[in-house]
Structure 1
């Protein structure tokens, strides 16, 4: 009864246009009031408790670091270096698009930051070279999903907090799947380049490569500092986020001198807004998950799944389909905070490592960012490129194929995600 009220009220509030955070808090509060067994004050206690986590401190710093890089010209330097590195290939700017996303992934860990920062530069450059709008937007949207898979990753930080799992291991687990995503998308670009006879954008020049590398060298050190520091135990994920922010700030204000006081204030306010939204969603999801847990929904769901079939492959497919469906309709952070307490016990009962499951969940939800009706990456690209949302969604469909293939490979071959964390941490 209470669970039905909880879920129905959540769905109705989302349909009525309530922000996700308010829908989560409102539905949980309604269920608690109707149940009458615990005081309403529990809502505030559980919300505060959900946000009371040291690793969550890394969120505002990674958000700020990504915003500083977008505002201080670092993304432009990265794009120019990637262009010199792989732009000589047929369909070169498509490969440049992916390569730049790989590099930027090691700095911000957010798909929306990639799409909003690099995306505008990439689509503009591709269209100026004669690439059609659909291909330009499609590959830009797809490549932006690499960001939250290759470390650092904001969604993995949130999953690690919810699942009480090592964030360092999650970061290490995402590296190989992220590179597989890049290779799969490059294969797709090569196919389109041959089919549509896309040209080579520029001849390879060692001089140009050296010049662009020199210009981007200090920017390229950012992922080295973040990833290297975490993997070698020099600092935690939270400390890495602070280091990335300080480094980006020094580059923008002292080295490149492209970051003005006005821009810094604007970036800071945007970071405060973004962080507030993320933490409010986490707070709302915490009380929502608490209601589910206290009414034994997680245990009952696990038992129900196991009664449907005991075949591990089928159960994994069912879990994957459920996560994908939720990802199509719900924002990533809210989906992680709601699904983790429900799905993780099922995964553990099947003998799946929580770190492996975290990579599968995040990768699955990243694909959801490319699908209507939510599709945050599509909305961002539509805004920065002036391409209608419907056209962005249509253009992205072919690029879902390689991403889904990688998702299935990572899901059913655990070694792809577990080899590196096992080597480094276990």
Structure 2
């Protein structure tokens, strides 16, 4: 490899700027401009790639709308009512409040599509509930909230799956359906680990909810519980596209919070718009940077070069998937998930297609892998978010999260070796892959 080539210098510049603290999206834009300057290409190409990628792709619009839906849920009382309902389901078992943490992640997974939104919203409330009166240590509550938040983008809707669909042209609807069983499987394995730890550490048993209160709690939570039903029903019935369904999700969350729960003030509404705008801007800048950088990667013919290289290794489809998993797990330790989906994954797609690997199966596997990176040290964005929320040292949170990571890697292995765990439901709905 020529370390003085334009592409090498571009990679060095992007890496250096990122380590110096510049957002990775801006780093990629600056690095790509350097590349175009060195090879004598038209500088207007940067703006062209930015505009064509950001403003002509309808799929991207789903991202800010799902973010906005999550914000409306967090500022309303939907979160509290859903947690009360989850407590009815599993709160009476040993370690019941810890089991509630897992179940609420399943429920919220059908609404926000974002692990960070789940951790910052319902996760903050779960942290307070679990540590009240010393029931659980702050580090265990934070670790559990971090690992359960990973379920959110696996069970539909899912912002990472929308981004994967952007770079792969895979069907968003079938990706959403394909994530259901893996997401539920991961939640089941997490509940098994909670049960094991609860028995070993003698976790407390919560007071059971009186039977007379169950109908009232269920009724209060019903409008919020109907949100994923309405959302996914509209997508899979063909009434709306996934992007239109994201708009519907935001409108539904706002309507329920304002009209039925009456829990949103004008100040809170403004703050939700401001927060979602900031989040959307950061994601949009990352997408813009990746689109420009991917143009550079295309000029260098790297996807085709990698395909030829891997073909020369004579890898089987399973061997290729194992290699991708290992590489993504390692990259997840140091890179942000969206960056991996936008920069690294497109390089693997031509090889996966050449080997006959189904794009929906590959996409769900990649998203699960990327989500593991959110709780994998040293980067682990969710670990740092929960450190800020809980005040517990990050090393203690990592220690308590490690047993869950083992189960989550097992879940990743199962969906890698058994594609039908992903493809069975999509095929029931007409998928021909």
Query: Which of the five TM-score ranges fits, normalised by the shorter chain?
Result: over 0.9
1:25-65 CA-to-partner distances (Å, cap 9, x unmatched) read: 111111111111x2011011111122131111111111011
- The equivalent residue for 2:417 is 412
User: Within 5 A, what are the aligned runs for 1:216-227?
Assistant: 216-227=221-232
Matched, 1:372 2:374: no
Matched, 1:57 2:61: yes
Matched, 1:265 2:270: yes
Report the alpha carbon displacement of residue 105 of structure 1 after superposing the two structures with TM: 0.5
- The equivalent residue for 2:340 is 335
Structure 2 CA distance for aligned equivalents of residues 202 and 411 of structure 1? 41
Q: Which moved more, 1:176-185 or 1:17-26?
A: 17-26
Q: List alignment gaps of at least 5 residues for structure 2.
A: none
- The equivalent residue for 1:423 is 428
Q: List alignment gaps of at least 5 residues for structure 1.
A: none
Structure 2 CA distance for aligned equivalents of residues 211 and 386 of structure 1? 35
Report the alpha carbon displacement of residue 315 of structure 1 after superposing the two structures with TM: 2.1
Matched, 1:47 2:50: yes
Structure 2 CA distance for aligned equivalents of residues 101 and 209 of structure 1? 20
Report the alpha carbon displacement of residue 170 of structure 1 after superposing the two structures with TM: 0.6
- The equivalent residue for 1:243 is 248
Structure 2 CA distance for aligned equivalents of residues 91 and 307 of structure 1? 52
Structure 1-normalised TM-score?
Answer: 0.97
Counterpart among 146, 159, 165 of residue 164 in structure 2: 159
Aligned residue for 2:429, secondary structure, equals helix
- The equivalent residue for 1:16 is 20
Q: Which moved more, 1:105-114 or 1:393-402?
A: 393-402
Report the alpha carbon displacement of residue 204 of structure 1 after superposing the two structures with TM: 5.5
1:370-426 CA-to-partner distances (Å, cap 9, x unmatched) read: 123332211221222222333323322221011100011011111011111111132
1:152-209 CA-to-partner distances (Å, cap 9, x unmatched) read: 0001001101111111011011011000010010010011011112232123643333
Q: Is the 8 A contact 2:108 2:152 kept in 1?
A: yes
1:191-238 CA-to-partner distances (Å, cap 9, x unmatched) read: 101111223212364333322111111111111111111112121111
1:280-339 CA-to-partner distances (Å, cap 9, x unmatched) read: 100100111111112110011122123234233332211111112222222221210112
1:94-124 CA-to-partner distances (Å, cap 9, x unmatched) read: 1100100000010000000000011111111
Structure 2 CA distance for aligned equivalents of residues 425 and 25 of structure 1? 41
User: Within 5 A, what are the aligned runs for 1:53-132?
Assistant: 53-128=57-132, 130-132=135-137
Q: Which moved more, 1:197-206 or 1:213-222?
A: 197-206
User: Within 5 A, what are the aligned runs for 1:157-306?
Assistant: 157-203=162-208, 205-306=210-311
Runs ≥4 in structure 1, deviation > 3 angstroms? none
Structure 2-normalised TM-score?
Answer: 0.95
Aligned residue for 1:374, secondary structure, equals coil
Q: Is the 8 A contact 1:85 1:209 kept in 2?
A: no
Report the alpha carbon displacement of residue 348 of structure 1 after superposing the two structures with TM: 1.6
Aligned residue for 2:121, secondary structure, equals helix
Structure 2 CA distance for aligned equivalents of residues 352 and 179 of structure 1? 23
Q: Is the 8 A contact 1:65 1:245 kept in 2?
A: yes
- The equivalent residue for 1:326 is 331
Structure 1 CA distance for aligned equivalents of residues 197 and 212 of structure 2? 29
Q: Is the 8 A contact 2:60 2:163 kept in 1?
A: yes
Q: Is the 8 A contact 2:138 2:391 kept in 1?
A: no
Q: Is the 8 A contact 2:110 2:157 kept in 1?
A: yes
Structure 1 CA distance for aligned equivalents of residues 415 and 429 of structure 2? 19
Structure 2 CA distance for aligned equivalents of residues 372 and 15 of structure 1? 17
Q: What's the RMSD between the two structures over aligned residues?
A: 1.4
Q: What is the count of residue pairs matched by the alignment?
A: 425
Q: Is the 8 A contact 2:138 2:390 kept in 1?
A: no
Structure 1 CA distance for aligned equivalents of residues 428 and 317 of structure 2? 26
Structure 1 CA distance for aligned equivalents of residues 129 and 294 of structure 2? 45
Q: Is the 8 A contact 1:84 1:205 kept in 2?
A: no
